[in-house]
Structure 1
Amino acid sequence: MRFSDFPFLRYLPFLLLGIFLGKSGIHVEWELLAISLIGVSFLFGFLVIHRKSMKTRSILAYFQLLLLGLFCESFQREFVSGQSQVAINQGYIAEVQEYDLQKPNSFQNLLSLRFIQTEDEWLPAGGNILVYHQSEKPLNPGDLIWVREKPEEVPSPVNPHEFDYRGYLAKQGIYYRQFLGENFTLIEQNAGFDFSFLMVYWRKEMATMLSRHIQHEKAQQIALALLLGQKQELDRDTKKAFSEAGVMHVLAVSGLHVGILVGVLLLLIKPLKLKKGPKRFYLIGVLLVIWIYAMLTGMAPSVIRASVMFSLLTLGQLRERRPSIFNILAFSAILMIVLDPDVIFEVGFQLSYLAVAGIVLIQPLIARLWLPQTVITEYFWQLASVSIAAQLATFPLSIYYFHTFPTWFLLANMIVIPLTFISMQLGIPLMMVGWIESLGNFLGFITELFLRLEIWVLDGFKELPFSSFQFLTISVYGMLAVWMLLLLWAAWENYPKKRIIRFAAILLVGWVIKTGIDQVNYPDRQLVLYSSERGWFLDYWENESLYSWNHQVDPENLDFLVKPNRIQNQWKNFPKPLAVYKNQAGLLYFPSLDLKVDSKKKIFFGSPTQRGKLQYWTNGKWQAESNRDSLSLEGKSYRILF
């Protein structure tokens, strides 16, 4: 296996380099980059036509990719900043993009801005607004509404390592949110046709049909997630059951789902033994079905990756060739990154490609460790080796983002994946013929049985001891070290073993040294002051012990306000209470910190000798703050290093 055999795999790093250079602060106008890219492309074409130096052509080709990465990032930044900087100071007119989603006390929907109101006129505008309304009449895709009040900007996270909901919505082009109640006016129903609305309509109709044939509530939720990618319908307990068992990936429409769809379509024509011409037309039809299904399920990163992969495999059948899986993976990644450079930073994109890369590179090595003697043991060993390979590739990133590791993932995957496979084999025909009531009822009944069996299995895993390891952390260097070691294992048979061992030893020593330096530099004492819309919270770390105080913060909110910082710092989850009493002025006084807090979230410091280095949290990191006698916890969190 030579690296030169995989051209798209060679192209990908240069495209990524261009994007990262743009993200790191090298900002060039996209128009200038477009002109440069066209000029370099013409020069490259001239060299190819006149068969000039191969080395020069290669350098120019890679430079083109770097410029393309810079251009994509610059164009995306210009487009996004234009939307995010739209100032909505009065009312606006917007187009409804989705059907209402039921929430406990309201309906959620997404609006696309069309015009914003100023003092003198209406101006065209773009961008999306997340809204909640309580109107008895539902909002439907294509409806135009007029809202008189201005929306609020989605706030940035205030507390350390808190989930960045603002950034999450910004990746979807959403920069504002608003509770409308019933304070809006419907201007026009179904104002204009949009192909995306057709997909939304079909998705709703199919969801309604599936819900009619699958009666059990949780089985219904899982069916909608499996077949249509509608994970927003899943309740918290169901998500938790899949997550703790390590099988959350089956709910993301991906290669498993698209593969089953393609398999069913190809199985239908196998008995017909079509000749070359009719077979080509049928395979083109399969390609159309793949992409209609991708649009129907929402075009998530895992869906696009799987759709591109199976499209290329289908095209390979048309040309009677089988393309390299590495080229397919790299090409699909390049396509997605060019269309949306920010997709690189989406967890779903990263996990999807890591899982497939792990299966392709590591699974054959694991499968070789044991050669089963029967068909049944061979099937389960292949399934186990795929699960282990995917888990090895993705666990560093899962720990980095989610701080958990499912203990029983291997056993759970060996049971849940076959059940999911059967449910999909039944569910896809159900989607095709469910409009025929008798067939729909029959397939729906059997599909529901397997989904309920899956739920029962997952409930059983929740009862097992040590179902998951919690509060785990890993550094970026640690992640990279694990992936490099896996790559060295994959390269073991193709590269000099002494060189691989030497490189692995350097990696491990570097990891140990980096961990040691981090431990030495870690502060012995620190105080973190968390902010909340209602109340405030203190964490004080001293001598390997954690002390805390909660003032009127809802305990349910601690999981996303306080817990992320504790996990990141590897602090114990059950702290001791801080000593506190109320003085004559009505202030809360913490004697161990020489600190007072009033009813308006204002902190008063005592003796200057007790004060440490003051920092505040902004843009995902701690920044130095000038020392002062007092500060306010309204909309800001602080850290004091003693």
Structure 2
Amino acid sequence: MKPYNTLLAKTTLSFIVGILLQPYIHISLLCCILLIFITYSLVGFCHLLAFKTAQWSIPFGIGLIFLFILLGIANKTLKDPLQSTHHYANQNDSTTHTYLFSIQEKLKPSAYQHKFIAQLHQKDSTPINGKVLLSINKDSSQTIPAIGRWYYVRTTIAALPFSKNPYQFDYGTYLKKKQIYGQFFINGDQLLKAAQSTENSRVVALRFRESVINSLKKQPFSNEQLAIIQALLLGQRQDIDTEMSNQYASAGMMHILAVSGLHVGILLLLLRFMTRPISIKKWRWIRSGMIIGLLWCFACITGLSPSVLRAVTMFSFLELGSCLGGKRRTHDALLFSAFILLVIDPSLLYQVGFQLSYLAVIAILWLQPWLSGFYRPKNYILDKLWGIITVSIAAQVGVLPLSLFYFHQFPGLFLISNIVVLPFLGILLSLGILVVSLSYFGILPNLIALGYGKIIDALNYFIGWVASKENFVIDHIAVSFNSMLLWYLVIITFFYLLKKYQYKRLLFFLTTLTLMLSIHIYQKTHREASHLTIFHKNKETLMGLYSPDTLIVYTDDLAADYKKDSRIEAYQNNFNLDTIYQRDMPNYFSLQHKKILVIDSLGVYKIKDIKPTYILLRQSPDIHLERLISLYPNTIIIADGSNYKSDISRWKTTCLELKIPFHSTYEKGFFRIQ
């Protein structure tokens, strides 16, 4: 018998394919529903014939797959907020209006702004809907909005930011996947509190979490301890600084700072252990009901965040599958939970947390029992230690290609980190829930608080020690989307071959391996051509001259370590570069018969016998642009982020009048010269 329901697996995967295809298939919802009705009728007809003749089972299977692809497309279209005529993105209005909105979620603040997700309700007196990113300046008179409260503000809806440098994380695209298509930039004193407020389970949970955090701030925890406690138990990573976050990432333990599948899974094991006395058959439904109820109580404590809701839903189905009995039931429950979550919110499919959680659990269910069978320790402690090792290896195998695709690094000491930390994570969570509960009711003894703080310090010290072994952290790994998919094919075929040797499995593995190696060799031998990139950086000029395997960074500040600059790191990650040099900024470039003249604040540009193809203006040079253009008429003018915006605006107007191409990195992002 197969370890999973084949029909459920095929329909779930088909549904996922439909969600992925929806942005590329321009079909109306009405037309899609009509196709669903026709396909459903044909599938039902084939199903009736399949009872009489086995050959009709193939058309039935194909029709069922097509039906669920259509259902995925229809569901994604139905849940698309842009389908509403009242959505602000469909009105294309950039003028100032009075907006009524409610606060849905508090985000991690930036250096200068508090950030929230707001739901629009009204524009002037007209109903409107849609989510926006709300940014409130910190240096204004502070009116920090509360979750669930409604406010008025008079402003404009600005466009989302876009990545102004190559290969960097595109925050605007990320927000669009979360169904946010615009943003507000305001001062706190612009807000006017409305009489309305939103009261639902999530708002109540978020307010409860805020009250828990406020109670913890009254305890004798240091800032670092409090930041880790909030992340570990309440899913709040806003107060963790960049250095600590990087340490946890380098140690391969970033997942313990995000309350999601790992925490809920450990909590599930703890609850199963605690309810073992009522695990007899006639009490199993009561036991599972208690466990699922307590899991959802934990979700409420963490504010019902999307990652926790996803994890609790997944493990609730897993607990139901376990209660029904058999390994197959557990696999089916996992597939069904993914299907239900995607029916509710198709955009979950694009979230990294959703992808990592399900791949890790799938790999654990598929690989861990097989790995643990290689060694059966008789000692209890060794048996538990071996279980942690096999779970860690299985989970890491499951998420490795995806992690490399998103994060471009591999923590070589992840196994040591997991062996040391995971056995105590259950204790950390149990004590943490006790500390949070006692703190909320104001009866937490100082001795317990100080002791728990010391445990957090020991955890941070160990993570810092592992992260300091930089030679074991392999970074700047370039993995494309196609390469990631091929890696998963190789991994799946490899382990299928190891589990049971068959000639067909060997042939399939060798085929996928050959294909992956061929693509890797092709990518190595067909590197991108040499080019010069003028990056966008506020108040500075930064350029990179790329040639295969090498990047020369041109800057005014040679003392600065530009290897840690996010723009340069993005280049390293994309091209897997190890060799980077820094050079002083020249006034003249020659790249493959193309001449680049650089004019800085000194305004010197009269160089004999040159005909520049491009002219870079930087540091707001005091020049007469018309005179410059008359001297070099066949050129393209580029202005980077080191210039004043007022100068750029003036230069742009001049270039438009003279019909000279003009590129501002403020408006259009980086400029590349091949």
Task: Report the TM range for the smaller structure's normalisation.
Answer: 0.7 to 0.9
Q: SS in structure 2 opposite 1:232? A: coil
CA deviation profile, 1:381-412 (whole Å, cap 9, x unmatched): 22122212222222222222111111211111
1:489 has 2:494 as partner: yes
Q: Aligned in 2, Cα 1:143/1:544: closer, same or farther, shift over 3 Å?
A: closer
For 1:431-470, list aligned pairs within 5 A: 431-438=436-443, 441=446, 443-470=448-475
Q: Aligned in 2, Cα 1:610/1:334: closer, same or farther, shift over 3 Å?
A: same
The separation in 1 between residues aligned to 2:516 and 2:448, in whole angstroms, is 54
Residue in 2 that maps onto 1:71: 74
Q: Aligned in 2, Cα 1:36/1:556: closer, same or farther, shift over 3 Å?
A: same
CA deviation profile, 1:16-73 (whole Å, cap 9, x unmatched): 22223323x2221123323443554466567768985562544443332111111122
Q: Aligned in 2, Cα 1:632/1:272: closer, same or farther, shift over 3 Å?
A: closer
| Native 8 Å contact 1:587 1:596 kept in 2 | no
Amino acid at match of 1:31: L
Residue in 1 that maps onto 2:18: 18
| Native 8 Å contact 1:580 1:589 kept in 2 | no
Residue in 1 that maps onto 2:653: none
Query: Which of 131, 137, 144 matches 2:135?
Result: 131
Amino acid at match of 2:546: W
Residue in 2 that maps onto 1:632: 663
Amino acid at match of 1:221: A
In the TM superposition, residue 296 of structure 1 has moved relative to its aligned partner by 4.5
In the TM superposition, residue 248 of structure 1 has moved relative to its aligned partner by 0.8
In the TM superposition, residue 610 of structure 1 has moved relative to its aligned partner by 12
CA deviation profile, 1:75-127 (whole Å, cap 9, x unmatched): 2445378454353521312112346976655533332211123xxx5343322
In the TM superposition, residue 271 of structure 1 has moved relative to its aligned partner by 4.9
The separation in 1 between residues aligned to 2:2 and 2:282, in whole angstroms, is 34
Residue in 2 that maps onto 1:620: none
The separation in 2 between residues aligned to 1:516 and 1:194, in whole angstroms, is 55
Residue in 1 that maps onto 2:29: 30
Residue in 1 that maps onto 2:616: 597
For 1:69-468, list aligned pairs within 5 A: 69-77=72-80, 79=82, 82=87, 84-86=89-91, 87-91=93-97, 92-98=99-105, 104-117=111-124, 121-133=125-137, 134-188=140-194, 191-213=197-219, 215-267=221-273, 269-271=275-277, 276=282, 280=285, 283-297=288-302, 303-316=308-321, 324-438=329-443, 441=446, 443-468=448-473
In the TM superposition, residue 234 of structure 1 has moved relative to its aligned partner by 1.7
Q: Aligned in 2, Cα 1:95/1:540: closer, same or farther, shift over 3 Å?
A: same
Q: Aligned in 2, Cα 1:519/1:274: closer, same or farther, shift over 3 Å?
A: closer
Residue in 1 that maps onto 2:590: none
CA deviation profile, 1:223-281 (whole Å, cap 9, x unmatched): 1112111122322122111101001112222333223434454555555789947x745
Amino acid at match of 1:509: T
Q: Structure 1 residues 320-329 or 585-594, which shifts more? A: 585-594
Q: Aligned in 2, Cα 1:523/1:481: closer, same or farther, shift over 3 Å?
A: closer
CA deviation profile, 1:536-560 (whole Å, cap 9, x unmatched): 4221124654323236999789733
When the two structures are superposed, what TM-score results if normalisation uses the length of structure 1? 0.84
The separation in 2 between residues aligned to 1:232 and 1:374, in whole angstroms, is 42
The separation in 1 between residues aligned to 2:181 and 2:673, in whole angstroms, is 32
The separation in 2 between residues aligned to 1:96 and 1:123, in whole angstroms, is 17
Q: Aligned in 2, Cα 1:377/1:351: closer, same or farther, shift over 3 Å?
A: same
| Native 8 Å contact 1:529 1:633 kept in 2 | no
CA deviation profile, 1:569-597 (whole Å, cap 9, x unmatched): 23345324266137795249899997542
Q: Aligned in 2, Cα 1:543/1:179: closer, same or farther, shift over 3 Å?
A: closer
Q: Structure 1 residues 196-205 or 335-344, which shifts more? A: 335-344
Q: Which runs of 5 or more residues in structure 1 are unaligned?
A: 612-627
Q: Aligned in 2, Cα 1:488/1:340: closer, same or farther, shift over 3 Å?
A: same
The separation in 1 between residues aligned to 2:337 and 2:234, in whole angstroms, is 21
Q: Aligned in 2, Cα 1:370/1:192: closer, same or farther, shift over 3 Å?
A: closer
Q: SS in structure 1 opposite 2:227? A: helix
Q: Aligned in 2, Cα 1:347/1:112: closer, same or farther, shift over 3 Å?
A: same
CA deviation profile, 1:595-624 (whole Å, cap 9, x unmatched): 5422469999x999999xxxxxxxxxxxxx
Query: Which of 528, 532, 542 matches 2:533?
Result: 528
The separation in 2 between residues aligned to 1:80 and 1:231, in whole angstroms, is 34
1:586 has 2:593 as partner: no
CA deviation profile, 1:318-373 (whole Å, cap 9, x unmatched): 65666533222222222222222232222222222222222222333433444445
In the TM superposition, residue 531 of structure 1 has moved relative to its aligned partner by 2.4
Instruction: Give the number of equivalent residue pairs.
Output: 620
The separation in 2 between residues aligned to 1:588 and 1:530, in whole angstroms, is 25
In the TM superposition, residue 165 of structure 1 has moved relative to its aligned partner by 0.6
Q: Aligned in 2, Cα 1:301/1:507: closer, same or farther, shift over 3 Å?
A: farther
Amino acid at match of 1:468: V
Q: Structure 1 residues 420-429 or 309-318, which shifts more? A: 309-318
Q: Aligned in 2, Cα 1:280/1:342: closer, same or farther, shift over 3 Å?
A: closer
When the two structures are superposed, what TM-score results if normalisation uses the length of structure 2? 0.81
| Native 8 Å contact 1:531 1:633 kept in 2 | no
The separation in 1 between residues aligned to 2:411 and 2:216, in whole angstroms, is 31
| Native 8 Å contact 1:28 1:74 kept in 2 | no
Q: SS in structure 2 opposite 1:163? A: coil
Q: Aligned in 2, Cα 1:398/1:30: closer, same or farther, shift over 3 Å?
A: same
Amino acid at match of 2:671: Y
The separation in 2 between residues aligned to 1:93 and 1:345, in whole angstroms, is 29
In the TM superposition, residue 455 of structure 1 has moved relative to its aligned partner by 0.9
Q: Aligned in 2, Cα 1:311/1:526: closer, same or farther, shift over 3 Å?
A: same
The separation in 2 between residues aligned to 1:361 and 1:572, in whole angstroms, is 37
Q: SS in structure 1 opposite 2:185? A: strand
The separation in 2 between residues aligned to 1:351 and 1:518, in whole angstroms, is 27
Q: Structure 1 residues 589-598 or 324-333, which shifts more? A: 589-598
In the TM superposition, residue 163 of structure 1 has moved relative to its aligned partner by 0.8
Q: Which runs of 5 or more residues in structure 2 are unaligned?
A: 588-597, 637-658
Residue in 2 that maps onto 1:622: none
Q: Structure 1 residues 200-209 or 371-380, which shifts more? A: 371-380
The separation in 2 between residues aligned to 1:455 and 1:381, in whole angstroms, is 24
| Native 8 Å contact 2:248 2:467 kept in 1 | no
| Native 8 Å contact 1:100 1:138 kept in 2 | no
| Native 8 Å contact 1:422 1:450 kept in 2 | no
Q: Aligned in 2, Cα 1:88/1:335: closer, same or farther, shift over 3 Å?
A: farther
| Native 8 Å contact 2:206 2:302 kept in 1 | no
In the TM superposition, residue 453 of structure 1 has moved relative to its aligned partner by 1.3
Q: Aligned in 2, Cα 1:135/1:266: closer, same or farther, shift over 3 Å?
A: farther
| Native 8 Å contact 2:321 2:333 kept in 1 | no
Q: Aligned in 2, Cα 1:511/1:300: closer, same or farther, shift over 3 Å?
A: farther
Give the fraction of aligned pairs with identical amino acids, expressed as a percent.
23
